[in-house]
Amino acid sequence: MKRPLVALTSLLLAQALAQVNLALSPARLELVLPPGGEVTEVVRVRNGLDREEPLSVALRPFTLTPKGDVAESDERNLCPHLTVTPTAFTVPPKGTAEVRLTLQAPPEAEGTLACLVVFTAQPRPTTLGGLRITASPSLGLAVYLTLRGTEKPALRAKVGGEGKALPVLLENPGNVLQRVTGEARVFDGEGKEVARLPIAELPVFPGGYREVALEPEAPLPPGRYRVVLILESAYGRYAAEGVWAVP
Amino acid sequence: MKRKLVALMALLASLSLAQTTDGHTVTVNIPSVLQLDLNASDYKFDFADNSLTGTETVNVGGTPYTKASWAAYENFLNTATGTQDFAPTSLTGTGGADYGTVTVLTNRAQWTVKISSVSGSLTLGNGRVKVFAEKVSGKGASWTTTPTPITAASPLTLFNASSGGQGKSTYKLYYLFTMDINDDIPLAGINDEQITVNLLLTSP
């Protein structure tokens, strides 16, 4: 008798503890279409709780900041060309809901456009009195569309500087999203390789730039190092060289 | 003769099938996923609360902050010359913990949790509310080195992983409320006010 009671208590406690438990799959969409083309994608939203989760959907145009964060911007707005069905729905307890995203590639635009599809749960009813802060949790699906045949890819990389982490600056003067993968190879004064610092699928927004600081797993001894940066994206391979002064 | 021909063709067809299926097909399906788990639904600052003694504190980033209550507020009025940050009187949904817990579960290397917007307004101003995210385990790093007004930036990044963010990452989420000794509180008092903080998880 004691065990079922303990189990029931822990179940009730677990339910009381969670306000929201939502999962989005896929976590991001990157699509390529010819101007005027159309595609429909299905996104799944899973509810990990034992109760229904009403969600609403909103579209927000965005850009990426130099730190890689999402910031609202109309600069390359995909939202007017994106239709979400449904825009309000309820995910069943421990269940999954499917949402259809239809993209119509604008015939006049060029390069990569972006839109954030935001799935928002309603805040829970709160207690009364006092000053209260309640949370409204959201999941954002970043959707990128690149218009085939209009791409003008470009990337400028600068590596080196001073600090315990290696400064890297990536500029994207082109019109397409550059998602770069690669590594910085670090050599000491005698030409011996002492570290490899990886970069994985780092997005650089068209017309923007990205600043990153690559930290070695183990700190390097103070000194001056030669660094070779080798990067690859869907549009080609890029390399840069510089000097890194570790204090 | 015709039957023999059909039988021979069937035999050849089966042989052909056997040859083309001589191997294994391995199908791999790994969906990318981005999951957000949040427990606290309500942080309440009640300066009329009589259930606390005024000495209860919450440790936020190594600094103790007194929980909001009548006793604590009375002490503030007695001694303060400037401002003081208070911890919530109570939280809903945390099972008694003095902080909310946010968990990110993903197989993506990059993700960000931020306050995308704030709905509603408090009489004393939304800038009186400070937020602090503290890493417990997993990946990424907090962007709040000290308790930061929720109006400091919009959006306001709380924590993120710019690389290697895969797996489960857990952060504590604290809110504080700033009282100023120079506040001229209306005769009717300030009670039953609420703001909603919109928390957004994305993988850019």
CB-closest option in B31, B88, B191 to A129: B191
B37 touches chain A (CB under 8 A): yes
Q: Token digits for B145? A: 């080195």
Given an 8 Å threshold on Cβ–Cβ distance, is B194 in contact with A131?
yes
- Yes or no: say if A229 and A242 are a contact pair by the CB < 8 Å rule: yes
Domain hosting residue B76, numbered range: 34-182+196-202
Q: Does A133 contact B195 at a Cβ distance shorter than 8 Å?
A: yes
The reported pLDDT for the residue numbered B29 is 82
pLDDT 10s digits, A91-128:
999 999 999 999 999 999 999 999 999 999 987 777 77
**Does residue B204 sit in helix, strand or coil?**
coil
Span A120-144, mean pLDDT? Answer: 88
pLDDT, position A128 = 76
Mean of per-residue pLDDT scores for chain B: 90
A217 lies within 8 A of chain B by CB:
no
Residue B174 lies in a domain: yes
Is the Cβ of B170 closer than 8 Å to some Cβ of chain A? no
What's residue A13's pLDDT? 42
Band (pLDDT 50/70/90 cuts) for residue B6 is low
CA atoms within 13 A on the CB side of B4: 1
Residue B5 lies in a domain: no
Contacts A–B by Cβ distance under 8 A: 191
Within a domain: B159: yes
Residue partners of A134: CB distance under 8 A and separation at least 6 = A123, A124, A126, B41, B42, B43, B194, B195, B196, B197
Show the tokens assigned to A14: 């677990």
Sign of CA dihedral A182, A188, A193, A194: negative
Q: How confident is the model at residue B68 (pLDDT cuts 50, 70, 90)?
A: very high
pLDDT above 90 covers what percent of chain B? 76
pLDDT of A168-197, one tens digit each?
999 999 999 999 999 999 999 999 999 999
CB contact under 8 A, B160 and A69: yes
The residue that leads in pLDDT, B3 or B73, is B73
Helix (H, G, I), strand (E, B) or coil at B110: coil
Q: Do B202 and A64 touch (CB under 8 A)?
A: no
Domains of chain A are: 21-147 (2.60.40.10), 156-246 (2.60.40.10)
Q: Is residue B5 scored above 90 in pLDDT?
A: no
User: What value does the mean pLDDT take over residues B147-167?
Assistant: 93
A86: preceding bond cis by omega (within 30 degrees) = yes
Q: Tell me the pLDDT tens digit for each residue of B171-180.
A: 999 999 999 9
Distance CA B175, CA B196 (A): 12
Q: Is residue B23 part of a domain?
A: no
Enter the ipTM. Answer: 0.87
Mean pLDDT in residue range B108-126: 94
Task: Select the residue of B37, B194, B202 nearest A116 (Cβ to Cβ).
Answer: B202
Contact between A124 and B41 using a beta-carbon 8 Å cutoff: yes
Instruction: Tell me what the mean pLDDT of segment B133-162 comes to.
Output: 94
B23 touches chain A (CB under 8 A): no
Tell me the one-letter amino acid at B76.
F
Which tokens go with A177? 């999203």
B188 located within any domain: no
Distance from CA of A120 to the nearest CA of B (A): 9
Identify the pLDDT of residue B154: 87
Name chain B contacts of A67, Cβ cutoff 8 Å.
157, 162
Q: A161 pLDDT exceeds 70?
A: yes
The pLDDT score that the predictor gives to residue A12 is: 42
Confidence of residue B41 (pLDDT cuts 50, 70, 90): confident
Instruction: State yes or no: pLDDT of A1 exceeds 90.
Output: no
Rounded-to-integer distance, Cα A19 and Cα A14, Å:
10
Strand pairing class (A131-147; B193-202): parallel
Do A129 and B192 lie within an 8 Å CB cutoff?
A: yes
Judged by CB atoms closer than 8 Å, whether chains meet at B48 and A19 is answered as: no
Q: Which of residues 19-38 of A touch B (CB under 8 A)?
A: 19-28
Residue in B35, B123, B179, B191 to test binding to A, most A beta-carbons within 10 Å: B35
Q: Is residue B136 one of the residues assigned to a domain?
A: yes
Asked if B105 and A139 touch (Cβ cutoff 8 Å), the reply is no
- Would you say residue B175 lies in a domain? yes
> Hey, is A185 helix, strand or coil?
strand
Total domains, chain B: 1
Q: Angle at the Cα of B174 (from B173 to B178), degrees rounded to 5?
A: 150
B48 contacts chain A (CB < 8 A): yes
Q: Are strands B141-142 and A96-104 parallel, antiparallel or unpaired?
A: unpaired
Q: With respect to residue B187, please indicate whether it lies within any of the assigned structural domains.
A: no
Distance CA A165, CA A126 (A): 45
Bridge partners for A6 per DSSP: none
Question: Which has the closest alpha carbon to B65: B130, B122, B127?
Answer: B130
pLDDT tens, position by position, A51-98:
999 999 999 999 999 988 899 999 999 999 999 999 999 999 999 999
